[in-house]
Structure 1
Amino acid sequence: KKTTCVMCAVCCGLEVKVEKNRIVKVRPDKDSPVSEGYVCRKGMNIAYHEHNADRLLYPMKKVGDRFERIGWDQAIGEIAERLKKILQEHGPRSLASVAGGGEFNFYPLRFLAGFVQALGSRYHYSSANQEFAGRYWAHGLTLGSQMLELEPDYENTDMLMAVGWNGMMSHHIPQARRVLTIISKDPGKLLVVIDPRRSETAKIADIHLALRPGTDALLLRSMIAIILKEGMHSQEYIDKHVNGFKEILPWFAEFDVNEALKVCELEYDQVLRVCREFAKRRSCLRDDLGILMNRHSALVSYLLVVLLAICGRIGVTGGNYLAGGKIYSDPNDPKTWRTAVTNIPAIAGMFPPNVMPEEIANGSPDRLRAAFVLEANPLRSYADTTAYEEAFGRLDLLVVTEIAMSETAALAHYVLPCRSTYESWSTADAIIPSKTDEGLLNVYSRMRRPVVEVEGEQKEAGEIFTLLADAMGLIRALPDSLYQAAGSGSLET
C-alpha cells in the first residue's frame, strides 16, 4: 500500500506491507515524484509510531486522579456544556487552542482553528510560532506575507549556502542527502556551510565558515557590506524588483567589517571569497533551526532576505523561489489580537507557546481558562515544563485530542482519541524545483488513504471538532432543498 512518511514536512513516499492490521514492512516508494525512492531512517520506522503501546482507543474523562472510559456522546455533551459556561462567564478571550506538527496532516488543524474562531477566539498557540517567529516577522516586513518561504532551487543552482542547516542529518528538503552529495561532488558547483560546528554537511562542503556561536547577524551584515562596497550587487535587479534599497545603505556603509569578523572569529579573505562566489554564481541558500532558534533570529532572517535581494537571487532560476500563502498579522492594527498579560501580538495568526503559562496562571480576569490541545505535548515540547504543569492545572477545561497518551494528555479533563494519519484520509503537498525544465516548479498533492483500520473508537480529528461545533450550536440546519439535491443529483432554482 502506498502512503508517505509523517515525520517531517517533506513526506517522502513509502510502500507498506500490512498483515493482520499491522505494518510489518516498509520500503521507499520509487514511484513517488517527490522522493523518488529516497527515505531516511525515520520513515523506515513508522511502524513503531503507529503501533504504539500508549495508543488511545476510547474517549476518557478525568475522575479524581484517574481516567474513566466514557462514550463519545457523553464526552462531546459534557465538554460542550462546560465550554458554554466558561464562554458565558468570561467571553471568547478565555479560550485558546494549541497545536503541533500533527503528523504533517494539516486538515485537523484547520478544523480546530475553525472551531475556536467560530466561538470568537483568535488565540492559537503553535509550535510554528516558536520555531519560525523570527522568519515570519522578517518575511512579513520584506516580502509582504509572514507565511511566504524562500526555498532554494537546489536542482538548478551553481552554489548552495547552508546557513545553520545540517541537511545531511535533519533533511527538510526532498532527497536532502542526494542533493547535497551531488552539489558537493560536482566540480562546477559550490557547497558552502555556515555553522559553528563541523557538522555532517560541513564535512562535505567546499567551504566551511565556522563562525563563533551566536554571531550569525554580524557575519551576514559583514557579507552584505562587502558586496555593496565591492560593487558586486545586481543594480539592474534592484532597480526592477527592490524597494527601499537606498534607505538601508547607511547601515552598511560605515560598518567596520574587519572588527566584526574578528568577533566572528573568521578570516576576511575567506568571507570575501564566499561573497564573490555568491554574487557572481546562480546561488541560493537554505536556513534552518541553527539560526532560527538562535540569538537575533528575526534580524538574521531579515539580513538573509537583504543578501538575496541585492544579489538578485529571489524568484530566479537557481536562486530562491517564493512558496506559501498571503498571511500578515499587522501588530499596529488594533484588530490584531495580543495576549492579555504579556501583550504579545500574533505573528501569522499564531502566538508563541512560551508565554502561554503566564496567560493562564495569573490573577487577571482576562486570563485563559479553557484550552484545546491537538496532537501537541507542551509539557515536553516547550520551555519550562513546571510552569506549563502548574498553568494547565489552573484551567477550568483542558481537552486533549491525541493518538497516544502524553504528559499533557495526562493532565487533561478529557482526552479524545483521534485517528493517526495512517488510519485517515489526507493529502501531502509539495512544491519542488524541476530537474528538467529550468525555472519551472512542480506542485504535487498526494492523496493518502488509510492503510490500517482503527482498533478502538478513534475518530478523525476533523469529525471530533465538527461534533463539538454542532454541540455548541455553531452548525446551522441545512435547508431541505440541499437534501433533495443530494438525493436527486440536481438542484432546482
Structure 2
Amino acid sequence: MHTEKTACILCSRVCGLTVDIEDGKFVKIKGDDEHPISKGYICQKAARLEHYQNHDDRLKHPLKRQADGSFTQVTWDQALSEIAEKLNTINKESGGDAFALVGGGGQGNHVGVLYGQQLLGAMGSRFVYSSLAQEKTPDFWVNGRLFGEQTCHTTEDIEHADYVLFIGCNPFQSHGIPNARDTLKAIKKDSNRTMVLVDPRKSETAKQADIHLQLRPGTDAFLLSAILAIIVREDLHDRDFLAKHCTGFEELKKELLTLPIEEYVHRADVPLEDVYRVARGFATAKTACVRIDLGLQQTLHCTLNAYLEKLLYLVTGNFGKKGGNNLHTYLIPLLGNTDERKTVKGKKLKLTAHHKMIPIAGLYPPNILPDEIEHGGIRAAWVDSSNPLMTAADTAAYERAFNKLDLLVVVDIALTETARLAHYVLPAASQFEKWEASGFTLEFPNNFFQLRKPLFEPHGESLPEPEIYTRLMVKMGLIPDRFPVLERIAKLEPKATGHQLFLASFAAALSLKKSWMRYGASILYRTLGRALPDKAAAAAIFFPLALEYAAKYREAVLRAGFEGNRFTLAASLFRAILSRNSGTIISEHEFEDVWTLIKNKDGLIHLHIDEMLADLKDLRVEAQPFTDHPFILMAGERRSYNANQIFRDPDWRKVDKDGAMRMHPSDAQTLNITHGERVICKSLIGQIEVTVEIDDSVRSGMVTLPHGYGMRFKNSDPIGPQLNILTSGDHCDPFTKTPYHKHVPVNIIKTNTALSRATA
C-alpha cells in the first residue's frame, strides 16, 4: 500500500485528498491537510471515489458502431484514421458550420479540453455547446455589460463576511464555497454574523440560517427587486462607492423608487417584515456578500436575476473589499468575450444557422443543439466528457437529432447513454489515470492551482485526451507526428533559462508554418512535454499559461513567493505547479487589485443596462404564470448521494437509491398518495415513474427530483429518474436559452390511473 496526493472531482471546489492505494484501488480517502485551500476538509461524496475509478462499465477499447446498432472493438489506428477521413470529408463538403464540439472538461477535468479545442481550428468552427452555457451564460452576459468583458467573473469572500446572503443554493449539499459545512457552522455559531437563505425549499442550509425567505418558485426577480427598492428608498445605498466606482445609478434608482414593494413581496409569498429585515441588515452590515447557484440561474427571469443579485452587493458597496464580492484571475482561460455589440478580430460573431443564436463567452446553449442538427446543417458532433442525453433538456429531442448525424464521436470512460448512439466511442483514461487539473480555481485575493499526477495505469487501452487529440491532428494531416529539432532543444536546454531558447524556437517554427498555430497545444505536448519529468507531457500547455499569468499579474505572483524576470518568473511558477502535489498558491492579490480587473475603458462599473431596465419595467405588468399543470418541479436538487454523471455505479449511494420525488404532506394527502408509493410525474413533453418521499421541506405545490440518476449500469434499465425526459428545450430564457430546470410545470398521477389512461 502507498499514499498519494490528489483532489476530489465531484464539484467545483476540487478539495485536496490524501489517498491510500493498494492493488489498483483506493482503500482509504481523506482530506489533505497540506492543500492550500481545503486544508483537510472532505465531504462524504469524495470518500467514495473508488466507485468512479473502478466499476464494471469502464471502457477498455475503441468501439465502432455497426449497422445493427451493436459495437465492435477496433484499434486506435483504425478508429482515428476513419474519424479523420470522415471529418476531413465533412469539412470539405460543408465547411466549419457543419461541426459542433459538445461538452469538454467537466469538474476537475480540464487539461483535456485545452487539447480538444484544437478540433475547432481543424474544422474551422466556433460552435462549442457546453454545460456552462446551460447554466451560467446569463451571468456571463451581465458581467460583460457591468464590468466590460464576459471573462470578468465574481467570487464571494464568505469566510470573512458579516452578512451572507445565499440565493437559490444549498451549500451544505452542493458546496461551491470553501469547506462548505465547516464555513456554515462557523457563521451559525458567531452571534455577530448573519446568514440568510432565499430558496423555495427548507434545505439543510435553511435550517442553519438566521432567516429563510421560502419564496414561491420562480419569483426571485420580484423579491430581489423589492429588496433593492427598500435599500434605495430608505437611502441605505453606498453613495460614496457609487460615485467613485460606478456609472448609471441614477437611471436605475428612478426605476427602483417606483417599484410596488408590497405587491412584489406578496407575489413572492414571504413575510414583508422579513424582507425589510434582510434589506436593512444586508445594506448596513460592515461586510456582506452574495452567493448564488442554479436555483437562481435556471428559473424564470434568469438573466434579470443575474443583474439583480449583482446589484445587491454593488449598490451597497460590498465589492472590491474583504468580506464582499470580488473579481478574480484565471490560470486556465475558461471563457471568451463574445459581446454581440462588437466584432471579434474584425469579424462578426458566428450565429447558429437555425436559431440565429449569439455566442456568450464563446459558448452556445445546449438547448438549441437538436434543432441546429435537424434544421441548421450540423453533420458532425464530437462529445467530450459529457452525456447530453442525460444532462441537457429534452432527451427525446437529443436522441432524434444525434441519430441523424453523419458522424458522432464520444470520448468518455464509460459507454454512456450518449455513447450508445455514437458511431465511434473512444475510451479516455480516468481522472486518476492521467495528468489532470481543474480550471475552477476562482479564488481572491489568493488564487491557487493544483496539477494532479496519475495514480493508476490507464484502464485497458484507454488514453489521456491530449494523446487522443494529438494523434487525431496527425491523422487529419494537420501536423507531423514528430518535431525533432524542438524535441532536442527542449531536452538540452537548462531549466534555469526559463525555456527561453525553446520558446524562441517554438515561435520561429510557428512563424514558418502558420497553419501550426492552431495546434500549439499538441506541438508542445510532443516537444516540451517529452522533456518534462514523470511523463508529464500533458502539462506542457501550462508553461505558456504560466508565462501569460506571470506577465499579467507579476506583482501578485511575486507576493506568492516566486522570483525571477519575465521568463524565469514564469518558469518558477511552472516548476511549482509541476512539483507541489498538494497544489500551490499562484498569486496573492490585494483588494485594490480588483479595480485593475475591470475591463471598461473608464475603469468604472456600468450599472445602466438597457435590456435589464426594460425587463425590470416588464415585471410590473407580468401576469401570474398560468399552467394546467398544478405542480412546479424543481429538477436537479442536490442531495447527500447524488453528484455529476461520472458516478454510474448505483452502489455508491448509501441512501435515496431511487432518487425519490419530494412532495409536501398536504399535497400527498389531497392526492391520496402515501410515502414510498410509485407515481407518474408528467410534464408537457414526457413522463417518468418516480417514488414519492413525503417531506415538509418543500412548499405545497412544488416537488423536487435530484440530478445524477437515470443511467444504465451493466446493461440494466435506467436506475432512478431520467429528469430530462420531462424538461423541454423550449421552456427557457428567451435571450440566453437557459433552461428553466427549476420551474417545470408537471402533473402528479397515481400509477394505476396513468397506466389505464395510457392503455385507453
Q: Which residue of 1 aligns with 2:79?
A: 75
Partner of 1:437: none
Aligned residue number for residue 200 of structure 1: 204
Give the 3-state SS of the residue equivalent to 1:104 in structure 2: coil
Distance 1:256 1:405, change over 3 A: same
Matching residue's letter, 1:359: E
Match of 2:447 in 1: 443
Which residue pairs with 2:7 in the alignment? 4
Contact 1:34–1:430 (8 Å) recurs in 2: no
Offset of residue 305 of structure 1: 1.4
**Which range moves more in the overlay, 119-128 or 482-491?**
482-491
Please report how far the alpha carbon of residue 477 of structure 1 lies from its aligned counterpart in structure 2 after TM superposition.
7.8
Aligned partners of 1:189, 1:402: CA distance in 2, in Å? 45
* Contact 1:430 1:443 (8 Å CA) reproduced: no
Moved more, 14-23 or 331-340: 331-340
- Report deviation, 1:479: 6.7
Say if 2:194 is the partner of 1:190.
Answer: yes
Tell me the CA shift for residue 149 of structure 1: 2.7
Q: Is the 8 A contact 1:157 1:318 kept in 2?
A: yes
Q: Distance in 1 between matches of 2:19 and 2:378?
A: 43
**Structure 2 partner of 1:21:** 24
User: Deviation above 4 Å: which 4+ runs of structure 1?
Assistant: 429-433, 476-481, 490-493
Percent identity, please.
Answer: 40
User: Aligned pair 1:175/2:185, yes or no?
Assistant: no
Counterparts of 1:92 and 1:452, CA distance in 2: 38
Is the aligned partner of 1:340 residue 2:353?
yes
Partner in structure 1 of residue 339 of structure 2: 330
Say if 1:70 and 1:219 are closer, same or farther in 2 by CA, change over 3 A. same
**SS class of match (2:129):** strand
Alpha-carbon shift at residue 489 of structure 1 (Å): 3.1
Compared with structure 1, are the counterparts of its residues 487 and 317 closer, same or farther at alpha carbon in structure 2 (3 Å cutoff)? Answer: closer
Question: Counterparts of 1:227-238 in structure 2 under 5 Å?
Answer: 227-238=231-242
Q: Partners in 1 of 2:91 and 2:167 — Cα distance?
A: 46
Evaluate the alpha carbon distance shift between residue 483 and residue 40 of structure 1 in structure 2; reply closer, same or farther with a 3 A threshold: closer
Give yes or no for contact 1:217–1:300 (8 Å, CA) kept in 2: yes
Show the counterpart of 1:352: 365
Q: Distance in 2 between matches of 1:232 and 1:135?
A: 25
- For the Cα contact (< 8 Å) 1:147–1:324, is it kept in 2? no
Q: Secondary structure at the match of 2:153?
A: strand
Structure 1 pair 117–208 and aligned structure 2 pair: CA distance change class (3 A): same
SS, match of residue 200 in structure 1 = coil
User: What residue identity is the alignment partner of 1:137?
Assistant: W
Structure 1 counterpart of 2:320, from 315, 340, 343:
315
The residue number in structure 1 matching 2:41 is: 38
Contact conserved, 1:418 with 1:461, CA < 8 A, in 2?
Answer: yes
C-alpha separation in 2, matches of 1:194 and 1:373: 36
Q: CA RMSD in A?
A: 1.9
Task: Report what 1:288 is aligned to.
Answer: 293
Q: Distance in 1 between matches of 2:451 and 2:139?
A: 30
- How far did 1:473 drift? 2.3
Q: 2:438, 2:366 → 1: CA distance?
A: 26
Q: Does the alignment pair 1:57 with 2:60?
A: yes
Which residue in the other structure is 2:427 paired with? 417
Q: C-alpha distance in 1, partners of 2:328/2:47?
A: 28
Query: Which shows bigger deviation, 68-77 or 330-339?
Result: 330-339
Relative to the length of structure 1, the TM-score reads: 0.94
Q: Find the residue that maps to 1:136 and give its secondary structure.
A: helix
Question: Is the contact between residue 144 and residue 328 of structure 1 (CA under 8 Å) also seen in structure 2?
Answer: no
Q: Please give the secondary structure, in 1, of the residue aligned with 2:205.
A: helix
Deviates more, 1:390-399 or 1:445-454: 445-454
Q: What is the letter of the counterpart of residue 363 of structure 2?
A: M
Amino acid at match of 1:354: N
Counterparts in 2 of 1:55 and 1:283: CA distance versus 1, 3 Å: same
Q: CA deviation at 1:102?
A: 2.8
Q: What is the total number of aligned residue pairs between the two structures?
A: 484
Q: Which moved more, 1:477-486 or 1:346-355?
A: 477-486
2:385 maps to amino acid: E
- Bigger drift between 14-23 and 176-185 goes to 14-23
Paired residue type of 2:138: G
Q: For the residues of structure 2 that align with 1:486 and 1:279, how far apart are their CA atoms?
A: 56
Does 2:412 correspond to 1:402?
yes
Contact map agreement 2:108 2:437 (CA 8 A) in 1: no
Q: 1:480 to 1:415 in 2, by over 3 A?
A: closer
Whole-Å Cα distance in 2 between the matches of residues 97 and 125 of structure 1?
6
Take 1:62 and 1:195, find their aligned partners in 2: how far apart are those partners? 45
Q: CA deviation at 1:119?
A: 2.2
CA contact (8 A) 2:187 2:193 kept: yes
From 152, 166, 185, give the equivalent of 2:156: 152
**Residue 482 of structure 1, CA deviation:** 2.8
Provide the residue aligned with 2:227 in structure 1.
223
Q: Which residue of 2 aligns with 1:278?
A: 282
Task: Confirm whether residue 393 of structure 1 aligns to residue 397 of structure 2.
Answer: no
Aligned residue in 1 for 2:247: 243
Contact 2:59 / 2:414 at 8 angstroms: preserved in 1?
yes
C-alpha distance after superposition, 1:406-462 (max 9, x if no partner): 0111111111111111001123466576xxxxxx72221122111111231111111
* Partners of 2:107 and 2:438 within 8 A in 1: no
1:400, 1:409 within 8 Å by CA — same for their partners in 2? yes
Residue 356 of structure 2 aligns with an amino acid whose one-letter code is N
SS at match of 1:155: helix
From 300, 306, 310, the equivalent of 1:305 is 310
Q: From 378, 387, 390, give the equivalent of 1:368.
A: 378
| Residues in 2 aligned to 1:430 and 1:395: alpha-carbon distance in whole angstroms | 32
1:112 aligns to what?
A: 116
Q: Is the 2:130–2:363 Cα contact (8 Å) retained in structure 1?
A: yes
| Residue 143 of structure 2 is aligned to residue 139 of structure 1 | yes
Give the Å deviation of 1:488.
4.2
- 1:455-470 paired onto structure 2 within 5 Å: 455-470=459-474
Q: 1:418 to 1:479 in 2, by over 3 A?
A: closer
Decide whether aligned partners of structure 1 residues 479 and 50 sit closer, same or farther in structure 2, where only a CA change above 3 A counts: closer
Aligned to 2:614: none
Deviation track 1:208-232 (CA, whole Å, cap 9, x = no partner) reads 1112211110111111111111110
Give the drift of 1:476: 5.7
Secondary structure class of the residue paired with 1:228: helix
| 1:76 and 1:468 in contact (8 A); partners too | yes
Question: Does the 8 Å CA contact 2:110/2:439 hold for their aligned counterparts?
Answer: no
Contact 1:431 1:441 in 2 (8 A): no
State the distance in 2 between where 1:205 and 1:391 align: 45
Structure 2 CA distance for aligned equivalents of residues 291 and 360 of structure 1: 30
Instruction: Give yes or no for contact 1:162–1:192 (8 Å, CA) kept in 2.
Output: yes
Structure 1 window deviating more from structure 2 (326-335 vs 161-170): it is: 326-335
Distance of 1:453 and 1:35 partners within structure 2: 27
Match of 2:732 in 1: none
Distance 1:359 1:260 in 2: 38
Q: Equivalents in 2 of 1:196, 1:487: separation in Å?
A: 59
Report the Cα distance in structure 2 between the residues aligned to 1:430 and 1:342, rounded to whole angstroms: 30
